[in-house]
Structure 1
């Protein structure tokens, strides 16, 4: 056989057509949430996925296992609010045991965190991202639709007590809403040893487009100067956030800037919704119906082929700036 005729097996890694290695999967275990944050879900929204269409834990574990077999090493459980999904701790235990997984994290609004934090830590969840947009109870209730701030702060306290570190606070900054609360959030994060990340609103659905954008690139630079923070050296696994740290390492501030300074060239992630739809980009409609294929009897080989086709079609970047009205689905329907 000539050298030119030698065939090689496909790479075990997922590489898209732009040379980006996809090694991070976000898994939405439910699209339900006990809050109605103004930028995420509109008031009165009821168009949630039917429970019959939700992937079972076994089905989720099967799909996630295929991804880890293809080189995905980081998984984040999201929602909606993932802690509303019954048995989520058992699901986390199963995912944590998968070969090839090096990092299992969870995004939460923390209203249910106090009673789940110890169990999550025990089964292998290593990191937490907590959505917290303000420490002002009235402002919190205005954004979230109900006053659950005390429960969130209690959850953060338990998570810190059981050893989660770092705990990242994600603050979506909105002009005229909570922009004035940033300094108090910085002080709180510093006092508690949390990492604060300021996030720009994304125009997803009517709720996202109805919120007023703040350029957190400029805001972050201003805060870094005021607190004498230094730019942090960004490793490959740092994700989309850009960080500044204090000289003694006691304070860390990050910004996530999908609009003012997008990070699509380094995108390494895809998202799996509760019904098994694989979304390849938050700001595009490209998707792969893995859940439908699975329930139609697809073999692992067929599912892997579908995953690879999806990754090959992953868009180069979002169009939030040029086509802000394009994405009509809400953030909770995709997974944060």
Structure 2
């Protein structure tokens, strides 16, 4: 193995998120604000050959998990072919997909057969009209069918991503939690992040992930850390646990309602950041590496693809400049001089 992907703080990076397109068929208010359905952003996308060559080098450097994102990744033609190629690269053990679910239903089985191991489906409301409003016209019923198809396809995990927004969907928290009682789903509540140019709008809609535990306490539900030895009987210990550093396996802390078939997770990049054990790199749709989602720094990889030594060098260079943490905070700050990212989430790939 060539040099491992370790930054100046000793964090080992074994996970890469790759945006395969910045096009999307939705216009979610926190991802592509002001966008209309079908709005296009022109980028020089990496070819499948380039993406496979890039992942080969990343695998040599210790990456084991790849997640394909967008925009909407299923807008990229023949995505199954790319997944098949990536699944055959030695060292890659997981290939995930983050999607809005609009195009997933009819393709779920083919994607699974190609080598896709898990799917994350974004669904920020269980009310069809509200869902359409949040997404700029999305079809709620198509997403539900995609969830059903994904469960039948046999993925290792089917996760539902819910961005928490005060005054928008926080009255649906209980409904989402009840889904985990009856179905083997992983509902992940994600704090609304200040990405792009909607800082003021973000602040008014932000709410901490810890409020989910408070809702459970109010309902009198017994919850326990997923995989724990037993129910806590209350949320007191869980709140304390939320203060601890997250595990290297990912940013979500998972919990289970007593007797539930599924689990729910909390992802809290703002209220309780998990930068200290960040293990991921992000590749934008136009072939740049972003070592941190929040900061603006990125390096163009395109000139180095095909040159393993050059590519290895630029990847290590990007990691050498990765800061210890981001500066996402609900506390008002003078951010005018801060080089935070101006890309929208759809342009980064989450």
> Structure 1-normalised TM-score?
0.90
Q: Is the 8 A contact 2:182 2:260 kept in 1?
A: no
Helix, strand or coil at the partner of 1:210: helix
Pairing partner for 1:244 from 233, 252, 255:
255
C-alpha distance in 2, partners of 1:147/1:282?
26
Matched with 2:166 is 175
Q: Is the contact made by 1:190 and 1:250 (CA closer than 8 Å) also made in structure 2? A: yes
Match of 1:288 in 2: 299
Alignment of 1:159-174 (within 5 A): 159-174=150-165
| 2:344 aligned partner | 330
Contact 2:180 2:260 in 1 (8 A): no
Partner of 2:146: 155
- Judge conservation of contact 1:203–1:324 (CA < 8 Å) in 2: no
Query: Bigger shift: 62-71 or 182-191?
Result: 182-191
CA drift at 1:77: 0.5
The answer to whether structure 1 residue 305 and structure 2 residue 308 are counterparts is no
Of 232-241 and 12-21, deviating more is 232-241
Unaligned runs of 5+ in 2: 229-245
Structure 1, unpaired ranges of 5+: 1-9
Cα distance in 2 for partners of 1:161, 1:224 equals: 33
Distance change in 2, residues 1:74/1:36 (3 Å)? same
Matches within 5 A, 1:58-137: 58-137=49-128
Distance 1:233 1:218 in 2: 22
Confirm whether residue 267 of structure 1 aligns to residue 278 of structure 2: yes
Q: Helix, strand or coil: the match of 2:101?
A: coil
Instruction: Decide whether aligned partners of structure 1 residues 188 and 80 sit closer, same or farther in structure 2, where only a CA change above 3 A counts.
Output: same
CA distance in 2, matches of 1:318, 1:133: 25
Question: 1:49 aligned to 42, 47, 53, which one?
Answer: 42
Which range moves more in the overlay, 322-331 or 138-147? 322-331
**Secondary structure of 2:328's aligned partner:** coil
Shift of 1:47: 6.8
**Match for residue 202 of structure 1?**
193
RMSD over aligned Cα, in angstroms?
2.1
Secondary structure of 1:130's partner? strand
**Equivalent residues of 2:161, 2:187 under 8 A apart:** yes
Q: Identify the residue that residue 225 of structure 2 maps to in structure 1.
A: 231
Q: CA deviation at 1:292?
A: 3.8
Q: Normalization by structure 2: what TM-score?
A: 0.86
Deviation of 1:269 after TM superposition, in Å, equals 0.2
Whole-Å Cα distance in 2 between the matches of residues 22 and 89 of structure 1?
26
1:271-302 per-position Cα deviation (integer Å, ceiling 9, x unaligned): 001111000101111211102443xxx62111
Q: Is the 8 A contact 1:40 1:207 kept in 2?
A: no
